[in-house]
Amino acid sequence: RFRDARIAVVGGAGFIGSALILHLLNDTAARVINLDALTYAANPRSLTEAQASPRYAFERVDIRDADALGAAFARHRPTAIVNLAAESHVDRSIDAPGAFVETNLMGAFTLLQEALRLWRGLDGSEKAAFRLLQVSTDEVFGSLDGEGACDETAPYRPNSPYSATKAGADHLARAWGATYGLPTIVTHGANTYGPRQFPEKLAPMMILRGLGLRELPVYGRGDQVRDWLHVEDHARALALALERGAPGATYAVGGGGLRRNIDVTRAVCAALDRLAPAPVPRESLIRFVADRPGHDLRYALDSSRIARELGWRPQENFEAGLERTVRWYLDNRAWWAPLVEGEADALRRRGLGAA
Ligand code: NAD
């Protein structure tokens, strides 16, 4: 797969980007160029394995910087581009939305312009095979009422500054396809979990706080339903969409693991109690806190299009995937310790945690 391909992964030092890069290097013949600004959310340790590959290159590039993007494209001449670069944390988007508009929306615009210039300069078969994949989210569809799931035809109803900027980028990608012919694809990935996720997100936050026997804050009553998708399943879906997706197509990528946030928190507690026993059950640390404003109650995706057209199905069962994730954090303290100030020392003093 991807013989002679040079894939630019923009935002490749983050959670999903690093999983995609590892998948491309391990399971395909592609060359990978990682272009990332290395914000707080990037972790170079996620790419230690990739750095050992002669098919991997990294350049520090900000997606908002047209000249830097253009120069990187001229040097590496990618045959495909995946855009994952984003400010990705909803809570931060409520406190400080400006950076989200700049990176998620203006950055996507800048990238599309530079991609268009690159694509126009390609010839024959490379031009026909070129794809730009904009990695989006199910959050652009807003909160779903009642039962059921939404597919790619659902109306856009973003409710947070984060999802509004992601929605805007989707529209730009579509318009650059319809207006200029740039072969763009959009994927709507569900809530993703797995190894190497920055500890501000729900699963790793609960894992690391639970490990240290700190309180586990749950928004509202924890009733928010999410469609949990393992990061390796997400990475496989992105690679498939890039390889075989039709220009102009959009694909919903759901994990099929509908769980309430409180269920996820309890599952983390149970896994921690099994793998890193403590004097108190972790569930006793759960505290309900004031809900996030505009918090969507329910996301659920119908992924039948990507199953039918590209043969993708999630492979990871949620409980098994979550336990594997907990184990990963226990075994990879060096990855997260620098990110959670003082946490590693506190754990060592209390004699808690493996590794
Ligand atoms: P992340 O926050 O872990 O990583 C984002 C990466 O983008 C980081 O490496 C960061 O350095 C880089 N970046 C940020 N601003 C940049 C800029 N201006 N220029 C270049 N690079 C920049 O995010 P993630 O969870 O890996 O998400 C990746 C993408 O997938 C995002 O676009 C997000 O909206 C989307 N997505 C995420 C989820 C999820 O549950 N995590 C679900 C669906 C879609």
Instruction: Please list the residue range(s) of the chain that carry CATH number 3.40.50.720.
Output: 6-195+229-256
* Region label for 338, one of left (φ > 0), alpha (ψ between -120 and 50) or beta (otherwise): alpha
Does any ligand 1 atom lie closer than 6 A to the CB of residue 63?
Answer: yes
Cβ count near 289 (within 10 Å) = 12
Tell me the pLDDT tens digit for each residue of 59-106.
Answer: 999 999 999 999 999 999 999 999 999 999 999 999 999 999 999 999
Instruction: Please list the residue range(s) of the chain that carry CATH number 3.90.25.10.
Output: 202-223+258-296+317-350
pLDDT band at 257 (very low <50, low <70, confident <90, very high): confident
- Is the pLDDT at 112 greater than 60? The verdict is yes
From the CA of 12, give the closest atom in ligand 1.
Answer: 9
Give percent of the chain above pLDDT 70: 96
Q: Output the CA 14–ligand 1 centroid distance in Å.
A: 6
- Position 353 scores a pLDDT of 42
Q: Output the CA 78–ligand 1 centroid distance in Å.
A: 20
Domain 6-195+229-256: CATH class, spelled out: alpha beta
Does any ligand 1 atom lie closer than 6 A to the CB of residue 88?
Answer: yes
- Position 354 scores a pLDDT of 34
Tell me the pLDDT tens digit for each residue of 260-306.
Answer: 999 999 999 999 999 999 999 999 999 999 999 988 999 999 999 99
Mutational test site, ligand 1, from 9, 16, 109, max ligand atoms within 8 Å of CB: 16
Does any ligand 1 atom lie closer than 6 A to the CB of residue 204?
Answer: no
Residue 163 tokens read as 């999802």
Catalytic sites, residue numbers: 138-139, 162
The type of residue at 223 is D
- Position 221 scores a pLDDT of 94
From the CA of 193, give the closest atom in ligand 1.
Answer: 40
From the CA of 136, give the closest atom in ligand 1.
Answer: 44
Give Cα 252 to chain centroid, integer Å: 14
Does any ligand 1 atom lie closer than 6 A to the CB of residue 261?
Answer: no
The single-letter DSSP state of residue 249 is: -
CATH domain 202-223+258-296+317-350 topology: UDP-galactose 4-epimerase; domain 1 (3.90.25)
Does any ligand 1 atom lie closer than 6 A to the CB of residue 101?
Answer: no
Q: Output the CA 81–ligand 1 centroid distance in Å.
A: 15
From the CA of 107, give the closest atom in ligand 1.
Answer: 18
Q: Output the CA 331–ligand 1 centroid distance in Å.
A: 24
Tell me the pLDDT tens digit for each residue of 197-245.
Answer: 999 999 999 999 999 999 999 999 999 999 999 999 999 999 999 999 9
Which residue's alpha carbon is nearest to atom 44 within ligand 1?
A: 137
Give percent of the chain above pLDDT 90: 91
Tell me the pLDDT tens digit for each residue of 296-350.
Answer: 999 999 999 999 999 999 999 999 999 999 999 999 999 999 888 655 555 555 5
How far is Cα 111 from Cα 184, in angstroms, rounded to an integer? Answer: 12
How far is Cα 88 from Cα 102, in angstroms, rounded to an integer? Answer: 13
From the CA of 102, give the closest atom in ligand 1.
Answer: 18
Mutational test site, ligand 1, from 9, 10, 15, max ligand atoms within 8 Å of CB: 15
Does any ligand 1 atom lie closer than 6 A to the CB of residue 158?
Answer: no
Does any ligand 1 atom lie closer than 6 A to the CB of residue 16?
Answer: yes
Query: How far is the CA of 275 from the CAs of 209, 326, 347, in angstroms?
Result: 15, 8, 15
Q: Output the CA 281–ligand 1 centroid distance in Å.
A: 34
The type of residue at 162 is Y
Closest listed residue to residue 241, CA positions, set 183, 191, 194: 183
How far is Cα 140 from Cα 26, in angstroms, rounded to an integer? Answer: 31
The single-letter DSSP state of residue 107 is: I
Q: Output the CA 350–ligand 1 centroid distance in Å.
A: 34
Mutational test site, ligand 1, from 59, 84, 91, max ligand atoms within 8 Å of CB: 84
Q: Are strands 257-260 and 225-230 parallel, antiparallel or unpaired?
A: antiparallel
pTM: 0.96
Q: Output the CA 190–ligand 1 centroid distance in Å.
A: 13
How far is Cα 354 from Cα 327, in angstroms, rounded to an integer? Answer: 9
Does any ligand 1 atom lie closer than 6 A to the CB of residue 135?
Answer: yes
Residue 212 tokens read as 């240290």
